């Protein structure tokens, strides 16, 4: 496995690999089994002749809260070991000064999908995501890229970016990886206090119950309210949003002949958790 710390090193490592299938897994580090699953899927997709590239970069421009950026865990040595064991060929580990010029003046804006859900409460977040991912796509020039569905809105926005800007990469959405008790894996989970960690699986339980009710024909608002009630009953939890939207447009209305998405964001103490589940009528 090769590790690149500069853009020139990355280009040099990838130059002899051009013409092969290059599958890219971008991350912000603090890797866990969810990331490892993406990397193993990338390895399978690339095959023996293809190339798997991963990036580990804590992107400062997508954080709307300086405290959240400062508290984000960083485990570079453990991250590299996970990449190695999952069959990654090239890891790109730049610092902010490598990725961004001090006088940068270009921005990336998406003005429809990013106005709802997490975008409504995190101004500038998805502009930062689009900027860094577009830069990484330009540097890596992958044929394919894999993103987890836990960040469902992010995946939808990146699909729109790739479509609207004619970026020649195929995006793949990977299913959410969960703990045994249902909690969606996240680098932020390590910051949960014990009482909040014990309560957090209620998110998944409420989503699964709601999905079953939706499939059985329950009305959209009653399905949404069931999740609101379940989360509101937990001490110390503040709901950011609970919404049911069209899975592609991320806006309402929801039509029975299209897939819907039930998405949740809630604060468990000082840690903001997100989760979601796709909804279909039986």
Question: What pLDDT score does 270 carry?
Answer: 93
Question: What pLDDT score does 136 carry?
Answer: 98
Question: What pLDDT score does 254 carry?
Answer: 83
Question: What pLDDT score does 65 carry?
Answer: 85
Contacts of 229 (CB under 8 A, 6+ apart): none
- d(C-alpha 25, C-alpha 39), whole Å: 7
In the chain, where are the structural domains located?
A: 2-174, 187-279
CB 89 within 8 A of CB 52: yes
What CATH class is the domain 187-279? alpha beta
φ, ψ of residue 65 in degrees (nearest 5): -125, 115
- d(C-alpha 45, C-alpha 176), whole Å: 18
Question: What pLDDT score does 256 carry?
Answer: 87
Domain 2-174 is of which CATH architecture? 3-Layer(aba) Sandwich (3.40)
Per-residue CA distances from 169 to 37, 125, 145, 165, 262 (Å): 20, 22, 7, 11, 27
CB 36 within 8 A of CB 44: no
Phi/psi region, residue 137 (left: phi>0; alpha: psi -120 to 50; beta: rest), is alpha
Q: How many CB atoms lie within 10 A of CB 66?
A: 9
282 residues of the chain, pLDDT tens digit each: 999 999 999 999 999 999 999 999 999 999 999 999 999 999 999 999 999 999 999 999 999 888 889 989 899 999 999 999 999 999 999 999 999 999 999 999 999 999 999 999 999 999 999 999 999 999 999 999 999 999 999 999 999 999 999 999 999 999 999 999 999 999 999 999 999 999 999 999 999 999 999 999 999 999 999 999 999 999 999 999 999 999 999 998 888 889 999 999 999 999 999 999 999 998
φ, ψ of residue 242 in degrees (nearest 5): -135, 115
Active-site residue 35, yes or no?
yes
Which of the following is catalytic: 32, 35, 125, 196? 35
Question: What pLDDT score does 71 carry?
Answer: 87
Question: What pLDDT score does 177 carry?
Answer: 96
Question: What pLDDT score does 59 carry?
Answer: 96
Residue position matching structure tokens 């940068």: 104
CB 73 within 8 A of CB 30: yes
């Amino acid at each position: 496995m090769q590790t690149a710390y500069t853009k020139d090193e990355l280009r040099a490592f990838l130059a002899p690999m051009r013409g092969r299938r290059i599958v890219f897994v971008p991350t912000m580090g603090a890797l866990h089994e969810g990331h490892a699953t993406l990397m193993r899927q990338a390895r399978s997709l690339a095959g023996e002749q293809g190339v798997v590239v991963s990036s580990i970069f804590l992107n400062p421009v997508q954080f709307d809260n300086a405290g959240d950026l400062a508290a984000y865990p960083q485990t570079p040595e453990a991250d590299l070991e996970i990449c190695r064991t999952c069959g990654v060929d090239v890891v790109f580990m730049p610092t902010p000064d490598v990725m961004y010029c001090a006088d940068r003046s270009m921005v990336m804006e998406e003005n429809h999908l990013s106005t709802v859900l997490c975008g409504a409460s995190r101004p500038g977040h998805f502009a930062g995501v689009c900027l860094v991912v577009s830069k990484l796509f330009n540097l890596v020039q992958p044929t394919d890229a894999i993103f987890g569905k836990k960040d469902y809105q992010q995946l939808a926005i990146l699909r729109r970016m790739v479509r609207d800007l004619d970026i020649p990469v195929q995006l793949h959405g990977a299913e959410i990886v969960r703990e045994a008790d249902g909690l969606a894996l996240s680098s932020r989970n390590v910051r949960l206090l014990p009482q909040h960690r014990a309560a957090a699986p209620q998110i998944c339980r409420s989503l699964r119950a709601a999905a079953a009710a939706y499939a059985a024909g329950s009305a959209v608002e009653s399905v949404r309210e069931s999740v609101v009630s379940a989360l509101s009953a937990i001490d110390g939890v503040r709901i950011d949003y609970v919404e049911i939207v069209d899975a592609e447009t991320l806006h309402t209305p929801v039509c029975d002949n299209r897939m819907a998405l039930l998405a949740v964001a809630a604060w468990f103490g000082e840690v903001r958790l997100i989760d979601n589940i796709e909804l279909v009528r039986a």
